[in-house]
Amino acid sequence: MEEGLALHHIGVRFGGLTALDDVSLRVPPGRVVGVIGPNGAGKTTLFNVICGFVAPESGSIALDGRPLRPRPHRLTRLGVARTLQGTGLFAGLTVLENVMTGASHTARAGFLPALLGLPRSDRDEARLRRDALDVLDQLGIAAHADAAPGTLPFAVRQRVALARALAARPRLLLLDEPAGGLGAEDIAELAELIRQLPHRDPDPCAVLLVEHHMDLVMSVCDELVVLDFGRVIAAGTPDEVRDDPAVTDAYLGAAVDEAAA
């Protein structure tokens, strides 16, 4: 059995535009895999395919050897969680409530106990709250549990978003540009955090990372996949990818085009 996430020959077209063309990649357990590429290379589309926001025209996805037909609200049940660009936090919920919401699929009490305010519903909430506080503790932001996200610095909000995803206890975490908007110091802390994720003691999780910030990608990823115009132009360890002429071409070529324009 092929463990972890596997994408086989994924193709996506938006009208006449080919967003993804024959993309295959694997995220085995215990690994951090990065997806890089110039703007518009198809990185976010790739995430949207895995999450079920975009249906691929061709190809297949498998999770732990089983075919995956993703629907966004079922993902956490399958052990996959995703963060969004920006933070995507619920502005009207406290930090703690945001994180509790991440574990929605583990709630057991049904509608009737909730309506009647039965102890079963209270116990369920108490457990979600404890678990959420644990995650906040692990990320060092438990002090902000009762704050509204809007009142916090961006770096903390970014961590809350990560905590919300981790509250689902995923086996695979999809991180969509987690370093966006962060300062150098925060990025260094984030890198340390991401490196630990596959080796956490309870709930180790593999990571698939889309990121622009090269230093972060090179320092945390075990493997890299480089996309350009929807195609995989290179794959391998960070060192292999760095020296790949196709990659330098794609990046330098883009830079030259921009300079010319």
Partner 1 sequence: MSATSAATPPRERTTGVAGGPGGPRRRGSTLLRHLAVVAVAGLLLVGVSYAVEPFRNFQLATVAAYLCATAGLTVLTGLNGQLSLGHGALMATGAYTVALCQNAFYDRGVTGGLLLLVSLAAAVVATVAVGAVVGVAAARLRGPYLAGVTLAVAVVVPALTVTFDGVFNGEQGLSVPVEPPPLALGVYFPYERWQLWIAGAATLLALLLLANLVRSRYGRTFRAVRDDEVAARLAGIHVARTQVLAFVVSAATAGLGGALLAVLAQSVSPGAFGLTLSLFLLMAVVIGGLGRLTGAVWGAVMLVALPDLSHSVTEQLTLPAAAAQRLEGNLPLAIFGITLVVVMLAAPGGVQGLLSRFGRALLARWRVGRS
Q: What's the min distance (Å) between Cβ of 70 and partner 1?
A: 11
CA distance 129 to 139: 15
Q: What's the min distance (Å) between Cβ of 43 and partner 1?
A: 17
Tokens of 36: 């890089």
Classify the phi-psi angles of 79: left when phi > 0, otherwise alpha if psi is within -120 to 50, otherwise beta.
Answer: left
Catalog residues that contact partner 1 under the rule CB under 8 A: 51, 53, 72-77, 81-82, 84, 88-94, 96-97, 100-105, 107, 109, 111, 114-119, 121-122, 124-125, 128-129, 133, 137, 142-148, 151, 164, 168
Q: What's the min distance (Å) between Cβ of 255 and partner 1?
A: 32
114 vs 218, which CB is nearer to partner 1? 114
CA distance 185 to 124: 38
Q: What's the min distance (Å) between Cβ of 176 and partner 1?
A: 10
Residue type, 75: L
59 vs 113, which CB is nearer to partner 1? 113
45 vs 76, which CB is nearer to partner 1? 76
Contact 4, 212 (CB under 8 A): no
161 vs 241, which CB is nearer to partner 1? 161
21 vs 97, which CB is nearer to partner 1? 97
28 vs 86, which CB is nearer to partner 1? 86
Residue type, 28: P
Q: What's the min distance (Å) between Cβ of 3 and partner 1?
A: 23
Q: What's the min distance (Å) between Cβ of 57 and partner 1?
A: 22
